[in-house]
Structure 1
Amino acid sequence: MIYRKNMSSLFRRGKRMKKSVLTVLLITAASLSAGKLDRGSRNNLPETANLKQLTTKTQNHYISPYGGFSPDGKWIVYDTRADGPLMGSNPYIEKVNTQNRKIKRVYEVPGQNEYGPGCGTPAYHPFKDQIIFIRGIKNASKSRPYDLHRRTCVMVDENAAPGKGIYMDARDVYPPFTPGALRGGTHAHQFSGCGEWIGFTYNDAVMAELEEKTGRKLNLRTVGVMKRGTPVEVSGHTETENNSGRCFSVVVSSVVPDPEPGSNQISRAFSNAWVGENGYRKKDGTYQPAQAYLGKLKTESGEELVELFISDIPENIQTSGRNGAIEGTKTQMPSPPEGVKQRRLTYTGERKYPGIVLSPRHWVLSSSDGKYIAYLAKDNEGVVQLFAVSPAGGEPIQLTKHDTSVQDTFFWKPGSHAVCYVCDNSVFALKIKDGRPCEPARLTKRFSSHPINPCWSRDGSMIAFNLDTAESGKQYRQIFLLTLSEDTNS
């Protein structure tokens, strides 16, 4: 192949090309059509020149799958949980400087004990020094520990009130319930492109308690949004279970315990993200705010299948819809507000390997302009590949054709149709050009374990990722930074 010959020639030039090799890789890759990579040629690539390890402390440094870069690219925010499931035992949100590796503590949970409250999965505002993250409920104890339905969204404004936690979503678990407040736990928070909305996944405490009492399947994960500028006041039990919040919160996906086989009903909505910085462009030229997410349905034969769904979100989310009250009842989940339109985007049931994969765990993510929504699924050889589909629906595009599976999450480059992802224990990138994927380029050497949660800086000059490394006989999740020498939009 011409591609392999050109790359070999470049690599023989040695150290004098180190500073520009990454840009050359992407420029060359952008001119070629997608195809399988030969394993031999992959392993001929040199070690990455502009890669450095930012963190070295004998603790974990978890980057959010929504990215960790500050708006100016000088910081990467993370949590320090001991292990993935142990967020309830983690009291700290920290950040590391991308230039001098200096570490600062952003937030410490007050009253932390072995049962909670806990915190984690922090993400920056797109252009302000504001950080949102999960925090458990303040009265964490042995009988009421951190749980899926016992968490909320807290924000630290580093300029106005550094170190101080501000509740974003209101919580009210005692009837009569409060419109604009939810009754459970929000998770995986991410700002919209304008910074005035926050998306999340949600589990309902009232339904969790009813499920425990009745044995019926009622504690269903769904997707929701918060809108800033409309604070919600909650009275009663505010020192234990309840709290007021800075945002008006609703769910935007309808879920049911037992979906009708062959229908578009879903029992679970999860792994969500905003579509585009401003939504997706409609036929009339306007932009529609929306959340994309995975939904679990049943096929006509009764088998469970995961597909991609989207919910269009109206500007006014304060009016209850025909399916029920936005605040819910003692026996019913909160319902989406009037104007939310939920629809299915993918139909993979006829594929050799139908559905969107749950392993590796990933979050659907959209390009900045909202043109593409990416997800992971198996190709006809049973290999996990990266796919993308339009928010308007239609036939998905298979972006990668590797001979081994994509191993982790992926991330779109801001302002571009380039996406970075993990395969063969390396970070790769490819670009969609004229509706077709270009040849992928390997950006790092092949590590002994696979990189985790790669994310692009907002100016596109850096990619950060987690990597598990051995320190004193133990594994710790560290942060690595790949600096790209030139703009890769070429």
Structure 2
Amino acid sequence: MPEVTQLTHEQHGHSMHHNGAISSDGNWIVFDYRNDDTHIGRTGTIAVLDRRTGSQFPIYQTLGQSIYGPGVGAASFNPCANQVVFIHGLLDADKEKPYDITRRTAVIVDLENKMQATYADSRDLVAPYAAGSLRGGTHSHMWSPDGKLLSFTYNDELVDPQLRVVGLMFPVKQQDFVEDRSGNVQGTYYAVIVSDVTESPQPGSDEINKAFDECWVKSSLKDGDTYCIAFQGNTVNASGETITEIFLVDVDLNLAFKDKSAVGMEGERPKVPQGIQQKRLSRSPKGLSNLRHWLRASPDGKSIYALAKDQFNKNQIVQCNTNTGELSFVSNFDFSVASPINIDASGEWITFTADNNLYVFQIHTKELLKLTERDVSEGQLVGAPLFDVGERRVLYNQFIKGKDGEFIQIKMANY
């Protein structure tokens, strides 16, 4: 059995985000103090572990933290800098207006300037809205591979808050001014929505009522200002069943910035900028699994990996060709994958958990390695395991018993 090492032991949670929890040089691991995935609103600390010394320290703490907010969590390193992005609830959070899916933003902290957070997306509740601003909550932020952009999922606070969409944001030299008032935020990034959703999709059409859990894809286009995102979209088939398929959208930043009307008017949700259009990639009888997971792209952009149910209702790994949209099973496990997946930098290995054990799977040879042996004395594995930087190691979260209870700790397994 491969060697397993426990990296943290403190009597609080050490929750890693599903992506980017390890710095590009491998020296730092970022986490938040959550001991429950649903408790971002009551969590006030983002911290890092220095792997060279074993020490850890906060890089950001909220002021006036309560069970109602503001709350922080889900932190990710920029792949090109020691810079961390994470969710931050609104500063006016209270019992009447607690942390919520429509009341949060992205903030960025540089390790060289700990405790100094910069808002990324602007939030403007006063029409006419500032171009490039939003008026709801961004979530699950993911850096583009070049570290220049952030993708996110979004729920609007004022119009159709249940309709989740996908967007991206990019830094601009001068952001439009947002009035200083409760609920508003002045950011430094320009945000746009890139997925088109409708409350009632036409059965049998390519319309969707939810866009979510995306990934960046290496674009086949030569324009350096064009980026590609794949996301999951809920369609409705001819029988009225919800089928989750894979969609792609190429985003030209020049078009995104040019269409100032995309911010929307009072009574409207933010719109997709003119000239940007999503396309349906996969067309399958059953679609993707309903287990919460994020799409993962191969480094060359030719394949997207996800989870789907087999004939025995087990979660298996599927591969989608980004040119043809063909969706095929690449695994045939006798168990069901139980967690989100991640792919390593070579594009050869995928990691996941199942039956409270950690696994890695070689995509092309079908080699399956079990990295842990389930121990009834240890607690549940949670979240998405992540590949280490430059090493054949996987980091993961697990509940471990301590003197004050069970806490989410960070562990590491070699393969």
- TM-score interval, smaller chain: over 0.9
Q: Is the Cα contact below 8 Å between 2:12 and 2:407 reproduced in 1?
A: yes
Match of 1:27 in 2: none
Tell me, in whole angstroms, the C-alpha distance in 2 between the residues paired with 1:288 and 1:234. 26
Structure with bigger helix share is: 1
> In the alignment, does 2:235 pair up with 1:297?
yes
The match for 1:384 is: 315
Identity %: 31
The correspondence of residues 262-411 of structure 1 with structure 2, limited to 5 A, is 262-275=204-217, 279-281=218-220, 289-316=227-254, 317-320=256-259, 325-349=261-285, 354-359=286-291, 361-411=292-342
Counterpart position of 2:371:
443
Question: Structure 2: which 5+ residue stretches go unaligned?
Answer: none
Hey, what's the Cα distance between the residues in 2 that align with 1:447 and 1:168? 42
Letter in 2 for 1:299: N
Match of 2:104 in 1: 151
Q: C-alpha separation between the residues in 1 aligned to 2:373 and 2:174?
A: 48
The CA distance in 1 between the partners of 2:316 and 2:178, in whole Å, is: 49
> Which of 127, 150, 154 is the matching residue for 1:202?
154
More strand, by proportion: 2
User: Which moved further from structure 2: 62-71 or 461-470?
Assistant: 461-470
Q: 1:90-124, CA deviations, whole angstroms, 9 ceiling, x for partnerless residues?
A: 11001112344311111001232331110000000
CA 149–451 in structure 1, closer or farther in 2 if over 3 Å, else same: closer
Q: Indicate the larger mover: 375-384 or 245-254.
A: 375-384
Task: Normalising by structure 2, report the TM-score.
Answer: 0.93
Contact 2:20-2:79 within 8 A present in 1 as well: no
Give the conservation status (yes or no) of the 8 Å contact 1:455–1:463. yes
Amino acid at match of 1:124: F
Three-state SS of the structure 1 residue aligned to 2:159 is helix
* CA contact 2:41–2:71 (8 Å) conserved in 1: yes
Q: 2:324 & 2:174 partners in 1: Cα distance?
A: 35
**Residue 219 (1) aligns with residue 162 (2):** yes
Contact 2:14 2:35 in 1 (8 A): no
Paired position in structure 2 for 1:229 = 172
Aligned residues: 411
Matched to 1:302, the amino acid is: G
**Structure 1 residues 295 and 394 mapped into 2: Cα distance closer, same or farther (>3 Å)?**
closer
**One-letter amino acid of the structure 1 residue matched with residue 85 of structure 2:** I
Deviations 1:374-398 (A, max 9, x none): 1111112221101111222332231
Instruction: Say whether residues 1:168 and 2:107 are aligned partners.
Output: no
SS at 1:84's partner residue?
A: coil
Q: Paired residue for 1:432?
A: 363
Change (3 A) 1:422 1:82: closer
**Which protein shows a greater Rg?**
1
The reply on whether 1:88 has 2:27 as its aligned counterpart is: no
Question: Contact 1:153–1:186 (CA<8 Å) still a contact in 2?
Answer: yes
Shift of 1:286: 8.7
Quote how far apart the aligned CAs of 1:298 are: 0.8
Partner Cα distance (2:33, 2:357) in 1:
24
8 Å contact 1:231–1:245 — kept in the other structure? Answer: no
- Deviation string, structure 1 residues 258-287 (Cα, Å, up to 9, x no partner): 001100101111111211xxx2335x8999
Q: CA deviation digits over 1:153-207, x for unaligned, max 9?
A: 0000112x22211001111011111110111110000110111100000011111
Deviations 1:278-308 (A, max 9, x none): x2335x8999621111111111111222111
Task: Name the CA shift for 1:231/1:124 in 2 (closer, same or farther; >3 Å).
Answer: farther
Match of 1:254 in 2: 196
- Pick closer, same or farther for the CA change 1:202–1:451 going to 2, 3 Å: closer
CA-atom RMSD, angstroms?
A: 2.1
Cα contact 2:130–2:178 (8 A) shared by 1:
no
Shift of 1:224: 0.3
Deviations 1:458-481 (CA, angstroms, capped at 9, x unpaired): 324432111122224733211001
- Whole-angstrom CA distance in 2 between matches of 1:389 and 1:412: 14
Partners of 2:173 and 2:162 in 1: CA distance:
28
- For residues 124 and 311 of structure 2, the distance between their equivalents in structure 1, rounded to whole angstroms, comes to 48
| Offset at residue 80 of structure 1 (A) | 0.8
- The residue identity in structure 2 corresponding to 1:307 is E
Q: Which moved more, 1:396-405 or 1:447-456?
A: 447-456
Instruction: Answer yes or no: is the 8 Å Cα contact 2:132–2:176 preserved in 1.
Output: no
Q: Quickly say closer, same or farther: Cα 1:309–1:380, change in 2 above 3 A.
A: same
Q: Which amino acid aligns with 1:252?
A: V
- 2-side partners of 1:157 and 1:452: how far apart? 25
Aligned counterpart, 1:241: 183
SS of corresponding position for 1:477: strand
SS in 2 for 1:400: coil
Partner of 1:417: 348
**TM-score normalized by structure 1?**
0.80
Distance 2:213 2:121 in 1: 19
What is the one-letter code of the residue matched to 1:341?
A: Q
Following the alignment from structure 2 to structure 1, what is the Cα–Cα distance between the partners of residues 107 and 227?
Answer: 23
Residue pair 2:166, 2:212 contacting (<8 A) in 1 also: yes
Amino acid of the residue matched to residue 301 of structure 2?
A: G
Retained in 2: the 8 A contact 1:61–1:477?
yes
Determine the C-alpha separation between the residues in 1 that align with 2:401 and 2:384.
19
